[in-house]
Structure 1
Amino acid sequence: MSDTGAPPDLGTSSYSPPPPPRGGKTGTLGALMRRKPVERLVADAGHGEGGSLRRSLGMWQLTMISIGATLGTGIFVVLGEAVPDAGPAVVISFVIAGITALFSALSYAELAGTIPVSGSSYSYAYATLGELVAWVCGWCLILEYGVSVAAVAVGWGQYLNELLSGTVGLTIPDVIAAPPGDGGIFNLPALLVVLLAMVFLLGGAKESARANAIMVAVKIAALLLFCGVAFQGIRAGNYAPFMPLGMAGVSAAGATLFFSYIGFDAASTAGEEAKNPQRDLPRAIMLSLVIVTALYCLVAAVAVGALPWKKFSGTEAALAGIMKNVTGQNFWAVLLALGAVVAIASVVLTVLYGQTRILFAMSRDGLVPKVFSKVHPKTGAPRANTVIVSLFCGILAAAVPLGQLADATSIGTLFAFALVNVAVIVLRKTRPDMPRTFRTPLSPLFPAIGFVLCLWMMGSLDLITWVVFGVWMVAGLVFYFAYGMRRSRLATDQK
């Protein structure tokens, strides 16, 4: 580890595996509950099969990764769903959703600074809650990131069609722009955007972070452009009544909007490629949440001022419609569509990055095949991992009609968030003297609130989402007991 890596008093240089357990919990139960010590997690950081990840990311690059994963399709389409519930008070709904996300973000910030490794909540669970819980968490993250990449890639193709239609009057035929069952044979644009992200990732973390930073700058500029243009159409009367459906409507909209914040945890997957992870990861997570919340509230305030709230019902492309109404021209709406295309491409890039780093950590621990932790010595990127994940997600997006299955990304995310809140409480109890560069305030109260809020959000999801989640969990447990439990590095070290 470099000087800017693990805190020196963690003792990573002298770490040795613990001896086999004597007495107490043994056999299968002991295997399920074995934990990977924080010191070992940090000592293993960066090391893969045949090479090491490179520490090349600064705080702003990490922040851009989280913003890139968070700021995507949500703000471009979500207002049409939330404003009919909350009216002009949708701005308050965004604040409520942001505060809801904040409790989990605080927990992520503490653990990211304390355990600066790839794997995000999977690694945090491994250190605190045991191998089985860590596996379940990692399996949830695979579902979250994999389905999310595919769903977002499908959305990218739709926005690309809108952009082409508005600029050159062309549209991609449904036969090659939609999967079977949705009127087509193969969704070529969805596959292409995933392959494009793969190319950037194969160049290494620094190169892909640079590309992401440019795309994030473009989409922030697009949203600020919207605010500047739509501001001319603001009418004071559009803000009255401010809360037409009462606080119940504001709360309902807040629950809908919460999912626009998913992605702030993306920086935590870059723990082994950050130059100074203990300092920069907590800052990046919190800063990204503040920036995204501020942008959401600004866009929402301008949008409801420029268009009466009752006219938002059923309008998915609300922002583009407002710009067209204010200016009377298609030009600005086309620019916004371009911003949306770039925005969604950066989400594909950052979420795909997170997926590869989580599988990298799980592979290094022996829970999934070693191919996922092989690092290319020249680029410092897990190349085979990146290619396998990209091809899988690309084909999933291109050939499978996702429909309501896309909601599975929400339940996987919330489950991981809930476990991170628990992990903070457990680590405070079991390792109170461990160096922490960021501490969640009012612990264990704030993590407990974050845990309860995650469960509440999970309860609001549809039955089909729970069915998909259940089937996925059963498949994951079968894989773990058949493969991961016996091949775990903790198991082999104790033989």
Structure 2
Amino acid sequence: MPAPRIKSPALLVAESGADRAGHGLKRTMGLFQLVCFGIGAIVGTGIFVGLSDSVAQAGPAVVVSFVLAAITCVFTAFSFAELGGAIPVAGSSYSFAYAGLGETTAFLVGWCLLLEYGISISAVAVGWSQYVNELLHSLTGWQLPAALSAGPGDGGVVNLPAVAVIAMACVLLVRGVRESARATAAMAVLKIAILVAFCAIGFTAFQHGNLTPFSPAGLGGIGAGTTAAFFSYIGFDAITTAGEEAKNPRRDIPVAILVCIGLVTLLYCAVALAAIGAIGGGQVGGRPAALSYVVNTVTGSSVGGAVIAFGAVVAIASVVLTVTYAQSRILMSMSRDGLVPRVLQKVSPRTSTPVAGTLVVGVVFAIPAAFATLDVVVNLCTIGTLAIMGVVNIAVIALRRREPGLARTFRVPLYPVLPLLGVGCCLYLMYETGWTTWLQFAAFLAAGLLVYVGYGRRNSRLAAGSGAAEVTPDAVEAEPRPA
């Protein structure tokens, strides 16, 4: 049996130009921008739209579900922090798998990232469309017709707002990373402020009786709620895709990951308690635009709900922006390795961004956004992300054994207990997604394996002996300006 094709961390860093000048990507992101980037990728559809689904499963015990989902993320966040500091490249978990487990696993991780980042763009855009209609109704009493604001599965024809938000994100991203980072930071601060304001309003009407029964569906409901709540945390690992555009990635990426998880968990638990405590879990569960409904009910006015809807529109748009950014960087890394077409690695000499890759991502994932329902894409996003997180935990263990001398600015505490717990939690939450999702995921992986065998394996630069630490003309069309 042939040995797996493995790239050393040193080669990955050298090929990316992460530790030297002369690469097409520019270093413009500091710690604050990275934290805002992480919050921008996480806080959006999961809390503004998905909260009602989590509450429908777990009731008031959704707070426990959020904490359990956060614990799963924290175990893996430690692994991402170690690998993100040691291998600061744009490929994120794809590159980590390449270094730890080999090319085949890396390709399948990159394929699964199409679910975490690509399909989640579609899911988030569908959620954005719901709040656009809520905002329009609050301000004008008018809504977009269902035929133009929902896919066929939701009683419409085509979801034009979902397509529009993806298009706007792509336009901003191709203009440059500095502009995108500034926009993301502004939107992150705004949506946190609006969620804090929501908590303040919700807690003024808080009634302890609304928290009983605390767990109406028992442990099974909490487990199902945890799987639903996990979608709210998808995106924290996107921070590691900024490894080549961060000013000090080895120091700042681990810190940004852990700060984001902590802040987001506190915020989610507070929002859930405020919403349920104000009107009860039965009123929150399964309700579209639930946060706006809570504020309207508490204040007796539609003004507060309009503000929340506006915050949701901004928040979810920022998720589309950051996740589109992350997906284009993953494809750029895979293209460098020859596993996907070379056009995806080209960097514009004017904007220092992968324009072609960004536009491809926008066009491809606007299609499911236009026609799919939120439930279908959310389940696939969740199981794909959990699989990636499990692989990253295993990659930490593999690299500790294979590369004991690798420079690590952060090390997973209680090794190897926490990575193994991370794998176990991921497998449990994958199980909770249900057999239908498993069948869909198995078919998706089989398709990915066929693509790898038919294209990636035959075009691999590592196998061809061209995996040298150099920047090819296709990768950089012109010498970049210094950051």
With structure 2 as the length reference, what TM-score do the two structures score? 0.91
| Aligned residue in 2 for 1:13 | none
Instruction: Number of aligned residue pairs: give it.
Output: 465
2:293 paired with 1:321 = yes
| Aligned residue in 1 for 2:258 | 286
| Aligned residue in 1 for 2:370 | 398
| Aligned residue in 1 for 2:454 | 482
* Partner secondary structure for residue 70 of structure 2: helix
Give 2:11's aligned amino acid. Answer: R
1:51–1:375: 8 Å Cα contact kept in structure 2? Answer: no
* Partner secondary structure for residue 105 of structure 1: helix
Give 1:308's aligned amino acid. Answer: G
2:383 pairs, out of 411, 418, 427, with 411
1:118 pairs, out of 80, 90, 97, with 90
1:405–1:468: 8 Å Cα contact kept in structure 2? Answer: no
1:78 pairs, out of 47, 50, 60, with 50
| Aligned residue in 2 for 1:388 | 360
Closer, same or farther: CA 343–441 of 1 in aligned 2, 3 Å: same
* Partner secondary structure for residue 433 of structure 2: coil
1:51–1:380: 8 Å Cα contact kept in structure 2? Answer: no
2:392 paired with 1:423 = no
2:74 paired with 1:102 = yes
Closer, same or farther: CA 172–469 of 1 in aligned 2, 3 Å: same
* Partner secondary structure for residue 399 of structure 2: helix
1:39 pairs, out of 10, 31, 34, with 10
Deviation of 1:244 after TM superposition, in Å, equals 5.7
Q: How does 1:58-73 map to 2 (within 5 A)?
A: 58-73=30-45
CA distance in 1, matches of 2:378, 2:224: 21
| Aligned residue in 1 for 2:473 | none
1:417–1:451: 8 Å Cα contact kept in structure 2? Answer: yes
Closer, same or farther: CA 265–301 of 1 in aligned 2, 3 Å: same
Deviations 1:93-136 (A, max 9, x none): 32222112110111111100011001111000000101101011
| Aligned residue in 1 for 2:477 | none
2:153–2:371: 8 Å Cα contact kept in structure 1? Answer: no
Deviation of 1:236 after TM superposition, in Å, equals 3.7
2:203 paired with 1:231 = yes
* Partner secondary structure for residue 52 of structure 1: coil
Deviation of 1:453 after TM superposition, in Å, equals 0.9
| Aligned residue in 2 for 1:449 | 421
2:123 paired with 1:151 = yes
| Aligned residue in 2 for 1:93 | 65
Give 1:38's aligned amino acid. Answer: P
Closer, same or farther: CA 412–245 of 1 in aligned 2, 3 Å: closer
1:206 pairs, out of 168, 174, 178, with 178
CA distance in 1, matches of 2:217, 2:435: 27
1:55–1:274: 8 Å Cα contact kept in structure 2? Answer: yes
Give 1:451's aligned amino acid. Answer: V
CA distance in 1, matches of 2:466, 2:283: 65
Closer, same or farther: CA 162–311 of 1 in aligned 2, 3 Å: closer
Deviation of 1:143 after TM superposition, in Å, equals 2.7
With structure 1 as the length reference, what TM-score do the two structures score? 0.89
**Range 144-153 or range 366-375, more displaced:** 144-153
Closer, same or farther: CA 351–248 of 1 in aligned 2, 3 Å: same
| Aligned residue in 1 for 2:479 | none
Closer, same or farther: CA 177–483 of 1 in aligned 2, 3 Å: same
Deviations 1:428-470 (A, max 9, x none): 1111121111110111110001011111111111333222222
Give 1:186's aligned amino acid. Answer: V
Give 2:329's aligned amino acid. Answer: R
**Range 170-179 or range 271-280, more displaced:** 170-179
CA distance in 2, matches of 1:410, 1:357: 20
Closer, same or farther: CA 428–56 of 1 in aligned 2, 3 Å: same
Closer, same or farther: CA 153–78 of 1 in aligned 2, 3 Å: closer
CA distance in 1, matches of 2:71, 2:154: 37
Q: How does 1:192-341 map to 2 (within 5 A)?
A: 192-240=164-212, 242=214, 249-341=221-313
CA distance in 1, matches of 2:335, 2:415: 32
Deviations 1:30-70 (A, max 9, x none): 4xx110111110001248xx961111111111111211111
1:36–1:126: 8 Å Cα contact kept in structure 2? Answer: yes
CA distance in 2, matches of 1:346, 1:184: 25
Deviation of 1:187 after TM superposition, in Å, equals 2.1
Deviation of 1:418 after TM superposition, in Å, equals 0.5
